[in-house]
Structure 1
Amino acid sequence: TAAVAIALLISYILYTYRHKEYMSHLQLKKSERNFFTLFKINPYPLLLTRLSDHKVLLINNKAIHFYNLASQDLDQIDGFIIYPTDEDREEILKRLQQEKYVKNYILEAREYGDSKWVMINYELLEYQSENCILAGITDITDLKAVEHELSLHASTDMLTGILNRRSGMEKLQLELLRAKTNDTPFLLCFIDINSLKLVNDQYGHREGDWLIKTIAESISGYISKDDTLFRYGGDEFLLIAPEQTEEYIQELWQNINEQLEGKKKEFNKPYALSASYGFIICAPSDDTNLDTLIQKADAAMYKQKHTRVSSAFK
């Protein structure tokens, strides 16, 4: 009797265990079906990749359209498209192992069509008894364009299209730091448009704006790609020329003056198109600040302007 009772107890325990296992299996299958359904109808691009080899297990139609993958079979899709670079992939995988998710990772999609900016949320989960990575993609290309436009407006002088004073001063500060760090000099040139007030008074501010813009364009057209030109004030500009010499700035202004003379004739202007300039070579050993450097370059400019005016009356 005892043996029969024990046998019945064991049978009951086994039945209960198998019943629970069966119900859990059904529940898992149901959960996977629900997951699959939600995955497919999600309005945002989704990819599910296997952690061990990054094989793409699932991809919804939104992701296929977003990455231009309609012509590829599932086995042909590279699971690495959800990572920006190899270095970023290592960082993301490390964070997934530690935190199980990575939120709002912003990157530029670099394959399969046009360049796009995306924000991706990564989550480590189990699917069909395998560790997988679910990646949800949001296209933020338009937002990035707006961000770029706002940044451009914040850093650009609207009349001339060159850097404004705030951004230019930041560049100058960085150049001073770079010069001291790398033990390399740079040239700072102060530029002042001649007779702008006279042009404004006699021909109007629209004509004065044209003069400012034309001179800025002429300077920009001849400076080196490593140089930085920015508008310091109404008719004043600063030019930062890393590792350049006096010969460079003199040749530069010879070309600029020739072009301005040509524009005067081309547009038949009744006034001179010209600017005065002065420059200093900023040595790495100089223990000085930005204001002092600008004052020295400004003084050199006024010296040149005074010489030019004096010569005109001789």
Structure 2
Amino acid sequence: MVAMFGDDRGNDETSSISEAGRDRAIGRLSGEFVSPVLETVFTWERLPETLRHARLLMIGSAILNTLFLASDWRFHGTPHFFVAVPARLVTIILAIACLFVLGRIRTPRAAAMTMAAWMAINGVAVGALVTSHSSIALFVVVMLPMIYYLVTPTRFDVVVGGGVLCSVAMFIGYGEYAASPTTAGGLALALVMLNCALVLVVSRANRLERLQWLAARSERRIAAELAESRETLERMFAASPIPLVVTDRDSGRVVKANTACAGLLGRDPLTDGGTLEPFYVAPGDRDQLVAMIDRDGQIGDVEMEIRVTDGTLRTVLIKANAVSMPQGRRIMAGMIDITDRKAVERSLEWLASTDALTGLPNRHSFMSSGKLAIAIAARSSAPLSLLMLDLDHFKQINDTWGHQMGDRALQAFAELCLDHLRDDDIVGRLGGEEFGILLPGCDAETALAAADRFREAIEHIAVDPEGDGPCLTASIGVTVIQDDEADLERAIARADRALYEAKRLGRNRAVLASVPAAARVSALN
């Protein structure tokens, strides 16, 4: 795995990201991973599903060919009978044999070789069957290559090789070149076109399957990291003394409480009536807990807010079990104060979604908010526009005034965004000096006008309060989210093209990327 993804701490971060991207690259034609290591990992993980699929294919082949064997008796008394029946028996025996072998295969290579052998032998046998030159035989000539391409679960090279060889066997076996030379060329061309189309279908299916696998793998890794983080926090809190309290199930009277419980609540719950009612925020909180215990026999990891003696609210994690005692049914509960942990989680969520330098949402947060904004706009049938903004000559600012001044420029721009944008507008730093802005309710003309106003406001940003700093300008690409777009990817691509056009035309201007008409430009006079 280290060889796959790289773990050289001395490498530059950008180089590591680039190498990881190359490792995950997918072949243009095959749709398989370019990295042999990653492709091997993928095939090993998918081996059980591949074998299950292959066994189903063999079972289906055996059953269908057995049914066709009965129909082959219609050739009895003809020379083709002595070709059809043996060939059909070969396909049946071959399917059963492969089914037996697949049940004992333990490696992807063995599975691929088994499927290759089945495709080759089965193709030759069926090639003999279509020598009847019947209308059903013509159907098989077209259908079998499709089955090879679309149903056979194996490597791309094996599928394509098997499909091409099958088509050749079908063409030769059908004998159209001998029966009707004038139409043989048409049949050959049709088979070539069929193979080309099926190669594209298999390539696309392979690509989608691997992209889904990568996404699922990333999701599992992230989930594991989050679970590990949560478990670590839980252990840290569990290491401290846990407040415990035992109450009577029917009356709610506190039977016993430990010192940690008194420390959490601010006083001993056995005093002042010996009940927990004063600590519940809502009157029905205890009834809900009791109902859960009556239904499940226990309470596991239920979060609840309580009000302690000084009036402050604390969030606790409750675990409880019902215990039958001689004095009656008791509820024994443990409470862990997770108020600080919840604050940390909120802080971590903020850090994970916010750019540290500018305080604006980062790319991930902006893209997530964009999906939600698109869904809201779709439900309300309201327009939604996107601005892609890039600060002009930003590298020159860093080189001339230093990176500290560049950072101040980015922070000043962020403050401008907060001052000039509406409450429902969405802004995010996408990387470097590039920013994205979503304008709900704005059509193309309104968005272009807003971009021009915003661009003019950028010109008046005072990066250096002493007046010696750089002057900022920005190039802006504008586009409108289309009805068939569920995320921002295509819109960003359009706006980026418009942004590059703005830079090409001299910077400090906004360019509207029309869909599908040519871009409209709003430039400085």
> TM over 0.5, yes or no?
yes
Greater per-residue helix proportion: 2
Per the alignment, in what secondary structure is the counterpart of residue 187 of structure 1? strand
* Alignment partner, residue 269 of structure 1: 468
Match of 2:411 among 209, 213, 224: 213
CA 1:260 to 1:126, structure 2 compared with 1: closer, same or farther past 3 Å?
farther
Q: In structure 1, what is the Cα distance between the partners aligned to 2:316 and 2:455? A: 44
Q: 1:206-238 CA distances to partner (integer Å, 9 max, x unpaired)?
A: 222221222122212332333322111211111
Shift of residue 123 of structure 1?
A: 1.3
2:385 match: 187
Aligned partner of 1:133 in structure 2 is: 331
2:272 pairs with 63, 66, 74, which one?
74
Contact kept, 8 Å, 1:215 with 1:260, in 2: the verdict is: no
The amino acid across from 2:302 in the alignment is: Y
Contact 2:363/2:429, CA 8 A, preserved across alignment = yes
Q: Do the aligned partners of residues 55 and 149 (structure 1) sit closer, same or farther apart at CA in structure 2, a change above 3 Å counting? A: same
Who is 1:199 aligned against?
Answer: 397
Identify if the C-alpha distance between structure 1 residues 207 and 227 changes in structure 2 by more than 3 Å, giving closer, same or farther.
Answer: same
Give 1:80-119 correspondences, 5 Å limit.
81=279, 86=284, 90=288, 92-109=289-306, 112=309, 113-119=311-317
CA contact (8 A) 1:122 1:133 kept: yes
CA distance in 1, matches of 2:495, 2:264: 54
In the alignment, which residue of structure 1 is the partner of 2:83? none
Distance 1:106 1:66 in 2: 15
Cα distance in 2, alignment partners of residues 129 and 221 from structure 1: 66
Q: Deviations over 1:226-256 (max 9, x none)?
A: 3322111211111123334554774586467
Equivalent position amino acid for 1:171 in 2: S
Query: Counterparts in 2 of 1:1-314, with a 5 A limit?
Result: 43-69=241-267, 73-75=271-273, 77-79=275-277, 81=279, 86=284, 90=288, 92-109=289-306, 112=309, 113-127=311-325, 129-244=327-442, 247=446, 250=449, 254=453, 257-258=456-457, 261=460, 263-264=462-463, 266-283=465-482, 285-287=483-485, 289-305=487-503, 306=505
Note if contact 2:299-2:321 (Cα within 8 Å) is conserved in structure 1.
yes
Aligned length: 270
Q: Conserved in 2, the CA contact under 8 Å of 1:191 and 1:238?
A: yes
Identity between Structure 1 and Structure 2 (%): 26
Q: Distance in 1 between matches of 2:269 and 2:297?
A: 33
Cα 1:269–1:70 change in 2 (3 A) is farther
Other-structure match for 2:106: none
**Which segment is superposed worse, 256-265 or 55-64?**
256-265
1:48 partner letter: V
Q: Answer whether contact 2:425 2:437 (CA < 8 A) is retained.
A: yes
Distance 1:61 1:260 in 2: 63
CA distance in 1, matches of 2:346, 2:418: 22
Preserved contact between residue 413 and residue 458 of structure 2 (Cα < 8 Å):
no
- Which structure features the higher share of strand residues? 1
CA distance in 1, matches of 2:267, 2:489: 56
**Aligned match of 1:32:** none
The verdict on how the C-alpha distance between 1:44 and 1:193 changes in structure 2, with shifts beyond 3 A counting, is same
Contact kept in structure 1, 2:366 and 2:427, CA below 8 Å: yes
One-letter amino acid of the counterpart of residue 170, structure 1: S
Provide the rounded CA distance (Å) in 1 between the counterparts of 2:408 and 2:378.
38
RMSD: 3.6
One-letter amino acid matched to 1:156: T
Match of 1:15 in 2: none
Compute the displacement of 1:193 (Å): 0.9
Higher RCO (Cα < 8 Å, 6 or more apart): 1
Q: What are the superposed Cα offsets for residues 34-68 of structure 1, whole Å, 9 maximum, x if unpaired?
A: xxxxxxxx943223333334344444443233223
294-303 or 245-254, larger mean C-alpha shift: 245-254
Alpha carbons of 1:292 and 1:43: their partners in 2 closer, same or farther (altered >3 Å)? closer
Q: What letter matches 1:281 in structure 2? A: V
Is residue 83–residue 89 contact of structure 1 (8 Å, CA) maintained in 2? no
Residue 143 of structure 1: CA displacement? 3.0
CA deviations on 1:176-213 (whole Å, 9 max, x unpaired) are: 23333454432322111122011122222222222122
Letter of the 1:241 counterpart: L
Indicate how the Cα distance of structure 1 residues 301 and 106 shifts in structure 2: closer, same or farther if over 3 A, else same.
same
Q: Distance between the aligned counterparts of 1:243 and 1:217, measured in 2? A: 23
- How far 1:274 sits from its partner (Å)? 2.8
Measured in 1, the distance between the counterparts of 2:307 and 2:455 equals 41
Shift of 1:294: 0.8
1:113-133 per-position Cα deviation (integer Å, ceiling 9, x unaligned): 333332211111234532232
Q: Secondary structure at the match of 2:321?
A: strand
8 Å Cα contact 1:82-1:135 kept in structure 2: no
Deviations, residues 86-108 of structure 1 (Å, cap 9, x unaligned): 58963x44442233212222344
Larger displacement relative to structure 2 (168-177 or 187-196): 168-177
Per-residue CA distance 1:145-175 (angstroms, 9 max, x = gap): 4333333332221221222112221221232
SS in 2 for 1:75: coil
Displacement after TM superposition at 1:265 (Å): 6.8
Is the partner of 2:273 in helix, strand or coil? Answer: helix
After TM superposition, the score normalised by the length of structure 2 is 0.44
CA distance in 2, matches of 1:270, 1:215: 14
Aligned partners of 1:240, 1:106: CA distance in 2, in Å? 36
Match of 1:24 in 2: none
